[in-house]
Amino acid sequence: MREVAQRAFADEFNDASYSFRESDDDRAPVYVLLPTGTKANRVFVVGTLTETEDVGSDEEYWQGRIVGPTGTFFTYAGQYQPEAAGMLRETEPPAFVAIVGKPRTYDTDDGNTNVSLRPEHLTIVDEAARHRWVIETAERTLDRLEAFDDPNNEYAQMAREQYGDMVVKYQEATIRALEGLDDDGDESELTR
């Protein structure tokens, strides 16, 4: 059975540098730990596709830059994600897109950990879908933040150990994301 796709804004997703498995089985799913205290094997994102580029050397390997109200998501698709690679190849930015993907962490040469999405599904959507995603993602983020201090929330305890207590940062980012809807932030997002 597939895991539920978690919703997260870019600032939180990009901070999710800790990945883990819950068993020693080679086929056990890999999760990233979101700093607001939940595990994510799949993530659902809606934003503005602002750039696409074939970054492959021998074969097509497409990178997409998706801008949301709190930052940027990066997605990569190649021969094992042919539909998503085709969408990235054929879509003319800027365009609103929805993506469900697997989070992947990788270490950079300078010692940082970056996070990206390996797409399972990538589709073009309209501005209304993007607005709904912002509102629903804000609600889910605030729910996680409210449950962060629950002593029975094992993932919140893990997040506190891995990242510290960054509740205020994500509360403020969530408020800014919602305020951006009122400010007609989509215009500026499409031109970033």
Q: Comparing 41-45, 71-75, 79-83, 185-189, which segment has the lowest mean pLDDT?
A: 185-189
For the chain, the domains span 6-185
Label residue 182 by pLDDT band (50, 70, 90).
Answer: confident
SS3 135: helix
Three-state secondary structure string covering 23-76: CCCCCCCEEEEECCCEEECCEEEEEEEEEEEECCCCCCCEEEEEEECCEEEEEE
Write down the architecture of domain 6-185 according to CATH: Beta Barrel (2.40)
